[in-house]
Amino acid sequence: MTDTPTTSRHVILFSGGMDSVLAAYSNPEADLLFVGTDTKQSFLEKESAGGVAFRMGRRLYYRHTNMPAPVGSNAYVANRNLRFVLEAIDLARFLHRKTPTGTPLPRIVVVLGALKDDRVPDKTPEAFEAMGELLSLIGDDTVRVMSPFHHLTKGQMLAEILADKRRVEEVTALLRASVSCYKLTENAAFCGCGDCPSCFRKAVALLSEGISCVSWFEENPMRSTTAEGYRTRLEDGTLEAQGYELDRIRRMTAAFILAGSK
């Protein structure tokens, strides 16, 4: 069955980060949902997501879920995305109740901005397929969980969006307002700390597509501690040995050159 506005209700899990912003940009008819948790980080992300959605002229729905805090340096929380998917399904049901009675609920499609180079157990195509199958089996709705970018890295995703050059100015403005950061602060003048891996990946994608973005961050993301670690592994061949795709290596090299740090 092909997913169209008449056969499916799409809900995008919208964090206000680069991946979800581009997912929303690529699907203008979808509903946007921000799922918050009891953390300061989540509060700041909510403010950012609301601002980006406003720029896009889109309504942003809000839900809250209890979430255990990450343990140690690993930011991964088990079943995190499954919790978010359940909130998205509930929103789709709620919004459907506002439509004329008698209309069957179309297939619910929950969209996450997951990428080929994401290394999280519950953001893989296999995990998404399993979630959809299980939720369809035990629930009242037909559910599909997917990402439009699972076959792409962050840089490739951006390149695909910007293939239409008329989009460059608009997309750049949205990404300037987006936040992809593990150590988000209250300083709204910046889109991230510039030091964490998430900021580094965002900067590499932008720079490799010719978008100057170093000033968007509190710290130069191409001269941070994270960047130095990647540069060392890039120069000694460790990244290639670890299985990094040639496209990612090329983009990283280009980003270092364009940022003037290599």
Under-50 pLDDT residues of the chain? 1, 73, 262
Element (H, E) at 8: strand 8-13
Q: According to the model, what pLDDT value does residue 4 have? A: 55
Q: What CATH number is associated with residue 14?
A: 3.40.50.620
Structural domain count, the chain: 2
Query: Does residue 221 share a domain with residue 108?
Result: no
Which residues neighbour 118 within 8 Å (Cβ) at sequence distance 6 or greater?
124
Query: Does residue 187 share a domain with residue 142?
Result: no
Q: According to the model, what pLDDT value does residue 119 have? A: 78
Instruction: State pTM to two decimals.
Output: 0.89
Backbone φ and ψ of 9, nearest 5°: -110, 120
Q: According to the model, what pLDDT value does residue 115 have? A: 93
Query: Does residue 101 share a domain with residue 45?
Result: yes
Query: Does residue 82 share a domain with residue 37?
Result: yes
Query: How many Å apart are CA 235 and CA 228, to the nearest integer?
Result: 10
Q: According to the model, what pLDDT value does residue 245 have? A: 86
Query: How many Å apart are CA 9 and CA 72, to the nearest integer?
Result: 38
97 occurs within a structural domain: yes
Q: According to the model, what pLDDT value does residue 215 have? A: 92
Q: According to the model, what pLDDT value does residue 1 have? A: 47
Domain holding 79, by residue range, is: 8-146
Query: Does residue 31 share a domain with residue 97?
Result: yes
Query: Does residue 127 share a domain with residue 210?
Result: no
Chain center to CA of 66: 21
157 occurs within a structural domain: no
184 occurs within a structural domain: yes
Q: According to the model, what pLDDT value does residue 86 have? A: 95
Q: According to the model, what pLDDT value does residue 14 have? A: 97
Instruction: Residue 240: count other Cβ atoms within 10 Å of its Cβ.
Output: 14
175 occurs within a structural domain: no
